[in-house]
Amino acid sequence: MATVTGSGAQPGLADCSPAAEASPAAPAHPAQSVLTDAGDLLRALAAPVRIAIVLQLRAADRCVHELVDALDVAQPLISQHLRVLKTAGVVQGERRGREVVYRLADDHLAHIVVDAVAHVQEGK
């Protein structure tokens, strides 16, 4: 039988105090608005084509026709997904002549997608 320190602890159960669980990267109790915004961000990333777009933009900035060619997806669909990602603050577009070149808003977003893909690949 395992022994656990701490008052009121049940035998065999680990210490579940907030100090034991707290992550230095995130507040222990984020505000509801932060949780809502995080949910919105994750929903924006929750489509295979949008995940593929983020992975492409992780490698380099791209214009729409480059994404169409790389992903073999119709241009209107790429544009629609880019709008969702732009609205969510995942990508930013910059007009260069007749084209708009897209890039990731920051590297944190690429890490979310890369970590999710790696997690799924590890499980298979």
Alpha-carbon gap, residue 43 to 89, rounded angstroms: 12
Checking if the pLDDT of 9 tops 80, the result is: no
Which candidate, 57, 37, 35, 65, places its Cα nearest to that of 113? Answer: 57
> pLDDT for 18-68, tens place per residue?
554 555 566 678 999 999 999 999 999 999 999 999 999 999 999 999 999
Task: Name the pLDDT band for 109 (thresholds 50, 70, 90).
Answer: confident
CATH class of the domain at 31-122: mainly alpha
Alpha-carbon gap, residue 78 to 41, rounded angstroms: 18
pLDDT at position 120 is: 93
Domain segments of the chain as ranges: 31-122
